[in-house]
Amino acid sequence: DGGITQSPKYLFRKEGQNVTLSCEQNLNHDAMYWYRQDPGQGLRLIYYSHIVNDFQKGDIAEGYSVSREKKESFPLTVTSAQKNPTAFYLCASSVTGRGNTEAFFGQGTRLTVV
């Protein structure tokens, strides 16, 4: 089945720890995105990548880092510098970064700081 897979579904982190969220797609999409969603709110863009080995900051990149070493993978690291990391994280991909096609979303990772 083609699709976009996020893992794990639930993640718990101690304060001060870095944690990495996985996002893999087998849709052969060039563009990938990470969004953060807080309860009762919309999606905010963290980072995006339109091509392998290149990525750009979104609206709320502080405290996060990404890499795009392979076309199918776009992991997000939530660092200890992110002061309020508890949220629902969504990864998406689209055919191109030109934005003229829909984005497909994973099922999300719920991160909780304990």
Provide the binding-site residues for other proteins, judged by CB under 8 A: 6, 31, 33, 35, 40-45, 48, 59-60, 88, 90, 92, 94, 97-100, 102-108, 110
Nearer to other proteins, 16 or 97 (CB): 97
d(CA 109, CA 11): 7
d(CA 26, CA 71): 9
Of 90, 99, 106, the closest CA to residue 27 belongs to: 106
Nearer to other proteins, 19 or 23 (CB): 23
Nearer to other proteins, 65 or 104 (CB): 104
